[in-house]
Amino acid sequence: MNSTSRLTKGSAYQSLSGILLPITTPFSSDETIDTRGLTSNIEKWNSTGVSGYVALGSTGERGNVDEREYLEVIETARRAVPDSLTFIVGAGQQSTRTTIEEIKRAAKVGAEAVLVITPHYYRSAITQEALVKHYSAVADASSIPIILYSMPDLTGIKIEPETAGRLSEHQNIIGMKDSSKDIATFRKAVGLVSDNFAMTIGNGTVFNEALQAGARGGILAVGCVVPELCLEIYRAVQARETDRVSALQEKLTPLARAVTKTYGIGGLKAAMEMVGYVGGPVRAPLRRPSEGACAEIERLLKDAGDAISGSEPRAVASW
């Protein structure tokens, strides 16, 4: 393991607590990387109270950038993220060998840890035993810590609780992001992983429930537009303010659903523009939402903002 990384088996339990943002990758109108926009967004998020960032995960359109752009995004983001915040980079190719090589490149340009998605192209061959061998080999070869990434909606592959438990024993595998909304399975995984292994949730629609089930924190796309609301839910759970948590989650859930599953990354980027961040285009074949969808997102943003500010209306720019 890289001795310069702040994320170790012991420290990750704290470093992955709270809210981490799986940030978008802004593109210019000609679809080149908008490095100024990326820097501007991170500088604004730095003051919100989030614990850190994941660049180039599924929300960051990792599958839509080439290898040169991958390194460009990492280098740009690394310069904008202060040392006090956690900086994680998405990784994961279809073979163990290419995944290891990708992680080497990410580490060289500043990643503190990598969030490694399950291979999935040869789906029938990706058994739980294959996942154990894959992640173990990747972790053995990596100079920086590994975080497991289970995203069955995109990949069709789930990291089962027993698999998470086995992999949690590896000294260089420090946590897992589960982006499903299966809280019963999440709770089972929490009970099977080692004590210093950080389970996080990647689905904002069940953030409260996951925290109650033992999640250390959330890596939430919806946090890119309402970090304050996500942080307040986290704080209220810690304070055991049950009624307040339920009310806040009720406002977060429809917005989280809208900017992820319903309207996708295009919806999230549109929402970011409504609250003053740089969104920009998505790369085809992804698409921006329709005017009607944007009107719905705008209404949900206002409701979410009002949940934090009480009776004070939240300013939302027209899309």
Nearest partner of 24 among 229, 306, 288, judged by Cα: 288
Locate tokens 């981490």: which residue? 20
Beta strand extents in 44-144 (DSSP E only): 52-55, 86-91, 113-117
Q: Give catalytic status of residue 177 as yes or no.
A: yes
Q: What dihedral angle (degrees, nearest 10) is formed by the CA atoms of 40, 256, 215, 231?
A: 50
Contact 160, 128 (CB under 8 A): yes
Q: Residue 50: what are its φ and ψ, rounded to 5°?
A: -70, 160
Length of the chain: 319
Helix axes 96-108, 128-141, angle to 10 degrees: 40
Exposed / middle / buried, residue 93 (Cβ in 10 Å: 0-12, 13-18, 19+): middle
| Chain centre to alpha carbon of residue 224 | 10
Dihedral angle sign, alpha carbons of residues 123, 127, 130, 135: positive
DSSP 3-state of 218: strand
Contact 54, 21 (CB under 8 A): yes
Dihedral angle sign, alpha carbons of residues 296, 302, 303, 304: positive
DSSP 3-state of 177: strand
Catalytic residue among 9, 104, 108, 177: 177
Q: What are the C-alpha distances in Å from 5 to residues 1, 2, 19, 142, 175?
A: 8, 6, 20, 12, 15
Residue 65: half-sphere exposure toward Cβ, Cα within 13 Å: 26
Catalytic residues: 177
